[in-house]
Amino acid sequence: MNPHIAKHGRSFKGAWEYYMHDPKSETRERVEWAMTCNMMTDDPDKAWKVMAYTAKVQSRLKEASGQVRTGNKAQKPVMAYSLSWHPDHDPDKEHMEETALQSIKELGMEEHEAIIVAHRDTPHRHVHVIVNTIHPITGLVNTTPYSQNRLSKFCGAYQKQHGMDYCPQREENRKKREEGKNAKYRNPVISEAWASSDSGQSFAAALEEKGYKLAQGRKRLVVVDPYGKTHNPVRHIEGIKTKDFNARLADIDRESLRDADELAKEAQAQHEAMKRELAEKAPALRKDFGDAKAKPAPDLKAEFDKHNGNLATPKNKQKTEMQHSKAAEQKPLRDKFDEQLSRLTHAHKIREATTRRELQEYYRLWEHKEQINALEQKVNGASWWRKLFRLNRKAENELSSLRFSFDNMKKRYNEQLRSLKNEFSNAEDALRKQHGKPPKEKTTKLSQDHDKASNPTHEQERQKRIAYIRDRQRQRQTRGRGRGGGPRNE
């Protein structure tokens, strides 16, 4: 699997029109399927509008989430990249979706809005991913540092996990990058054919030995591989320019070369026919393999019966069959429970984010915090003689009142979020009870202690209120004194 990252763009509509349609057309023949991520809509035709609106209200999102509003606004929030499988690898839709979501998580944007589009206009299966680099809740921008290296490592791990070795050059390029050298993918067949030839005829013959063919493209000579994909040979030959390439291939009669598009279609048709033939033979091969696998080894079976004769009783066999049948019956119920729990969790996350945004807009805690910080700086930064004669008592009274109001608002803010969390917990327990699942474990002692520390008891609230009243009484006592701070002259 190979990744390719396009340049960041400004227009979500432009990206949607390009990836959701055929080139320079309104048709969608090359689009196989499309899906959305982290959005309230499942329609890709509406998703780009949601992403564009998120980018438009970036500053408001920062303000609502309590983030610092400084910094430049994202000029190019559209990130697009593709993941391409080898033509011999034919993954299904579920596998492609899962792999695309894992790649988004690898870039650290699993909470960002995205559109995933699968195309079928090439011999190899591939998906295009359009991601909004602006977070839909915080408004912060993910600059996606080292995104090419991240995706390259992800694809390398993917190949090792699935036992594939379609791109051995990836490991070589990774070692070159670690040594500080420039690394670029080059098709080894084209590079070796060029290195082993000294003329155009020998170059074409070396390519044909590997199943590659030299053809006439629209503007230049190109190479068509056995899967029907066209390559610009100059890009795969190190240290060679177009002028040098054309000079060596001067002995090639370009009029006798076939058209690249025709060769590509022919190669694609042959590859598809071979895949269909293998698919037709697959059931018979599986049956032969299963029959061979099902034949037990007599000696091994006798040895097993000798040492474990008491285990292979009819009663144990019946018990094992009952367990297997029970597990098979419970599988649809487990799948149904997992699906309902996933929907419930997703709805809770959306509701929590919406409620948090509404509460932040209502209480505007960040504005009160800024006022408190400004007053603290004013009071603490006053000169010593103003502190001595208490000339800032008005600012001190206002600061004390603001602190008390801020604590109360923060308490109500946390209580509403906590009630929403408890409601979700009750709904989850009810769902588990409905499916006969054990209740979810409660929070650990550490989290309980944290809750106790963050939620003061009634006695703590009472002592805090008493301290506030005493502070106000002292402030009122000082109001009768003279401006100099000393006792009034009788």
Could you report the per-residue pLDDT of 354-398, keeping only the tens digit for each?
888 888 888 888 788 888 888 888 888 888 777 777 777 888 888
Structure tokens at 279: 């698919």
The answer as to whether 127 is a domain residue is yes
Structure tokens at 318: 């019946």
The answer as to whether 487 is a domain residue is no
Regarding whether 201 and 152 lie in a shared domain, the answer is no
The answer as to whether 459 is a domain residue is yes
Mapped onto helix, strand or coil, the DSSP state of residue 344 is: helix
Express each pLDDT in 186-203 by its tens digit.
Answer: 788 888 888 888 888 898
Regarding whether 231 and 97 lie in a shared domain, the answer is no
Regarding whether 225 and 348 lie in a shared domain, the answer is no
Regarding whether 204 and 158 lie in a shared domain, the answer is no
In this predicted structure, the answer to whether residue 481 has a pLDDT above a threshold of 60 is no
CB distance 366 to 66 below 8 Å: yes
The answer as to whether 40 is a domain residue is yes
* Residue ending a domain, choose from 152, 178, 204: 178
Q: List, in order, residues 6 or more apart from 275 with CB less than 8 Å away.
A: 90
Regarding whether 400 and 352 lie in a shared domain, the answer is yes
Regarding whether 389 and 256 lie in a shared domain, the answer is no
Regarding whether 151 and 66 lie in a shared domain, the answer is yes
Regarding whether 23 and 170 lie in a shared domain, the answer is yes
128 versus 297: the higher-pLDDT residue is 128
Regarding whether 13 and 157 lie in a shared domain, the answer is yes
* Domain interval for residue 57: 2-178
The answer as to whether 94 is a domain residue is yes
* Residue ending a domain, choose from 178, 199, 226: 178
User: Cα–Cα distance between 339 and 347 in angstroms, integer?
Assistant: 12
What values do phi and psi take at 120, rounded to 5? -130, 30
- Predicted pLDDT of residue 483: 46
Regarding whether 344 and 450 lie in a shared domain, the answer is yes
Domain count, the chain: 3
Q: 390: closest CA among 481, 489, 490?
A: 481
User: Cα–Cα distance between 338 and 414 in angstroms, integer?
Assistant: 30
Structure tokens at 392: 């800032």
Confidence of residue 100 (pLDDT cuts 50, 70, 90): very high
Structure tokens at 307: 């040492």
Regarding whether 217 and 169 lie in a shared domain, the answer is no
Express each pLDDT in 387-445 by its tens digit.
Answer: 777 777 888 888 888 888 888 888 888 888 888 888 888 888 888 888 777 777 654 44
* Residue ending a domain, choose from 243, 263, 283: 263
The answer as to whether 330 is a domain residue is no
CB distance 325 to 373 below 8 Å: no
The answer as to whether 115 is a domain residue is yes
Any idea what the CATH number is for the domain that residue 121 is in?
3.30.930
Share of the chain above pLDDT 70, in %: 79
